[in-house]
Structure 1
Amino acid sequence: MAVTDEAIEKIKKMIVSGELGPGDRLPPEKELAERLGLSRNSMREAVKALEVIRVLDVRRGDGTYVTSLEPHLLLEAISFVVDMHDDDSLLELFAVRRMLESQATGLAASNVMAEEAQALLDEIGSVDQSTVSIDDLVAHDIRFHTEIVRLTGNGYLASLIEGLGSQTIRARVWRGLTEQGAVERTLSEHRAIAEAIADHDSALATSLATAHVAGVERWLRQATAV
């Protein structure tokens, strides 16, 4: 293991073990390096790396602190990488989203309360197919999927899927503008998913969510092959 990697692992172990908690200040660099048996240079590089992925917060003139370690914060680095995709890798993003979101939908069906299920159905009912714009449809799509993932009760999963979903908006708008019947198909699939969730049918909800995202993947694959 490289010296810097060893330093990163040792700092991470201090956090995972609870020796350092969210918001805690790290000991001074020299003291920490001596304590962990590492050079100050490797310690400095490790701190830089952990700052990039939002585990540590270096405050000039004050010290280095453990961040809040909230899911949305830790996943910002992943969102940044995802944001660098090109059209060729967009299909891979949809594949990841399909795998994660389908399981999240099944979990939501297990957890949902009656009023939450009704809120999903009301969201779909609020969209007028005859007058809805593509921007409004995409906004509805985001609200619908965000609410489903929230129902899992897993903040890390919600943040990760939200990051992936935000990177696929362009493709969803493109589909809405170019594919005939996109509005009707989207709302119909959303309603089927919401009804399966309301019925606490995890297996059906998972299958419907898989097919829903896969449909966009299939359309994108055909569109980019032209």
Structure 2
Amino acid sequence: MASTPAPDGAPIRSRSNVVIDGIREMITSGELMAGSRLPVERELGARLGVSRGPLREGVRALVVLGVLETRQGDGTYVTSLEPGQLLEPLGMLAELQSPENSVHLLGVRRVLEPEAAAHAALRITEDELARARGILDRGEAILEVDGQIDLEATIDVDTEFHRLIATASGNPAFAAIIEALVSRTARARLWRAIHQGGAVHDTQREHRAILEALEAGDPDRARIRMSVHVLGVEEFTASRVDELPAEAPDEG
């Protein structure tokens, strides 16, 4: 469907891009800072040379992207612009990937997570190490229970362990990208395949090896251990891509 023309004849979509670019320039130039309030609608529209329709369309797009937030009765503000907030839309990419394409996201993890682990080995605190041990202890307890492995609890353990390492790297961008790329749907698919392939215990042992490298404060070993772990998961998943469920198992 063609865009509805604005009063000046330009498509609304094109004019809304003017709004997006204009506000972005105001932020990057330092005119607007994190937490700043946008000029009132009439003033901003006149400055950017757009009417109310495309102005609101552009603002809505920036709200979705986490750049702006609207406060009822108080106007529109620039958000904190933290990496976690700005990179959150990447989570939608991960969530909507087909099983086949989810393997590509593991390839991205293989690039990022070993470096996050290396950084974490130099920065991780005793409190974070204690939490990591607790997480893996919980994972091993799950595996020791007779009968069916609790897949949901296993996913939670895996998520918490990798999230802790990414956060301990001290690099918010690492943490935000890794968090966004590994959606719960992707993890559920992955862990169901790992469980069906009988590799759950191997994965837990790899987690322990990563933790030992972190405890030793050895960035090279942490990088290698994480590389081996994520590469193994990627190769395992690629070899079983036809067995990956299209949807995650029901939660409950």
TM-score (norm 2): 0.77
Give the alignment partner of residue 170 of structure 1, picking from 166, 188, 204.
188
Give the alignment partner of residue 217 of structure 2, picking from 182, 200, 205.
200
Question: Contact 2:89/2:180 (CA < 8 Å) preserved in 1?
Answer: no
Question: Contact 2:151/2:192 (CA < 8 Å) preserved in 1?
Answer: no
Runs of 5+ in structure 2 lacking a partner? 1-13, 244-252
Once the two structures are superposed, residues 1-44 of structure 1 have per-residue CA deviations (whole angstroms, 9 ceiling, x without a partner) of: x65444323311222333222332211233223334x3336544
Question: Contact 2:194/2:200 (CA < 8 Å) preserved in 1?
Answer: yes
Superposition deviation, residue 178 in structure 1: 0.8
SS at match of 1:157: helix
Letter in 1 for 2:98: D
Matches within 5 A, 1:50-69: 50-59=62-71, 62-69=74-81
Question: Contact 2:91/2:182 (CA < 8 Å) preserved in 1?
Answer: no
Q: What RMSD in Å do the two structures reach over aligned CA positions?
A: 2.5
Letter in 2 for 1:192: A
Question: Contact 2:94/2:186 (CA < 8 Å) preserved in 1?
Answer: no
Question: Contact 1:108/1:148 (CA < 8 Å) preserved in 2?
Answer: yes
Q: Does 1:106 align with 2:106?
A: no
Give the alignment partner of residue 148 of structure 1, picking from 156, 165, 173.
165
Once the two structures are superposed, residues 126-182 of structure 1 have per-residue CA deviations (whole angstroms, 9 ceiling, x without a partner) of: 4234326333332221221111111012233212211222242122321332112x2
Separation (CA, whole Å) in 1 of partners of 2:92 and 2:61? 15
Q: 1:68 to 1:113 in 2, by over 3 A?
A: closer
Question: Contact 1:118/1:198 (CA < 8 Å) preserved in 2?
Answer: no
Question: Contact 1:55/1:66 (CA < 8 Å) preserved in 2?
Answer: yes
Q: 1:171 to 1:26 in 2, by over 3 A?
A: same
SS at match of 1:34: helix
Q: 1:64 to 1:123 in 2, by over 3 A?
A: closer
Superposition deviation, residue 183 in structure 1: 2.7
Separation (CA, whole Å) in 1 of partners of 2:72 and 2:134? 50
Size of the aligned set, in residue pairs, is 223
SS at match of 1:9: helix
Superposition deviation, residue 69 in structure 1: 2.5
Separation (CA, whole Å) in 2 of partners of 1:71 and 1:17? 19
Superposition deviation, residue 61 in structure 1: 5.6
In structure 1, what is the equivalent of residue 85 of structure 2? Answer: 73
SS at match of 2:69: strand
Matches within 5 A, 1:15-30: 15-30=27-42
Q: Which is worse superposed, 97-106 or 122-131? A: 122-131
TM-score (norm 1): 0.85
In structure 1, what is the equivalent of residue 50 of structure 2? Answer: 39
Q: Does 1:90 align with 2:119?
A: no
Letter in 2 for 1:29: E
Superposition deviation, residue 200 in structure 1: 1.8
Letter in 2 for 1:35: R
Separation (CA, whole Å) in 2 of partners of 1:34 and 1:125? 60
Once the two structures are superposed, residues 51-82 of structure 1 have per-residue CA deviations (whole angstroms, 9 ceiling, x without a partner) of: 22121224566432222323332222221232
Separation (CA, whole Å) in 1 of partners of 2:155 and 2:163? 12
Runs of 5+ in structure 1 lacking a partner? none
Letter in 2 for 1:70: E
Question: Contact 2:67/2:86 (CA < 8 Å) preserved in 1?
Answer: yes
In structure 1, what is the equivalent of residue 208 of structure 2? Answer: 191
Superposition deviation, residue 104 in structure 1: 0.7
Superposition deviation, residue 90 in structure 1: 0.7
